[in-house]
Amino acid sequence: MSDWKERLGVVYSTNPDFKYETEQSPNIETLPKERQNLRVWRDTHGRAGKIATVVRGFVGNDEDLENLGKILKRKIGVGGSVKNGEIIIQGENRERVLQILIAEGYSRTKKV
């Protein structure tokens, strides 16, 4: 990575001890499965009226959230994505998502 990409808007400083501060996201530790409070929602907003199942409330790093999203999509057999800390599954699949999450060990999961 080039030095100019790390400057973040600072062109020049006369301070010899100046260090460019870069934003680093804190490494969030993932809660154990049995302590996760997941909520399964039915949503149509921003999807041209199409129904999607959304899983919210995951506390942890993005990699673990991506892995959970892949498990759900693979077991249900539909498409979806992981955005902004939410897992979005295509279609009305709240019951199936709830059953899979409970089978995976997410015992504090509820359907909203």
| Domain membership of residue 100 as a residue range | 30-111
Would the pLDDT of 2 be above 80?
no
Residue 21 lies in a domain: no
Split into its structural domains, the chain has a count of: 1
Q: What is the pLDDT of residues 27-86, one digit of tens each?
A: 788 999 999 999 999 999 888 889 999 999 999 999 999 999 999 999 999 999 999 999
Q: Which residue has the tokens 């959970």?
A: 68
Residue 3, token pair as written in the block: 């030095």
Contact predicate 94/60, CB 8 Å: no
* 16 vs 65, residue with greater confidence: 65
On the question of pLDDT at 91 being above 80, the answer is: yes
Instruction: Please tell me the pTM assigned to this model.
Output: 0.75
Residue 11 within any structural domain of the chain: no
What are the distances in angstroms from CA 6 to CA 10, 19, 28, 56, 70?
Answer: 9, 10, 23, 33, 33
Look at residue 66 and give its three-state secondary structure: helix
Q: Within a domain: residue 76?
A: yes
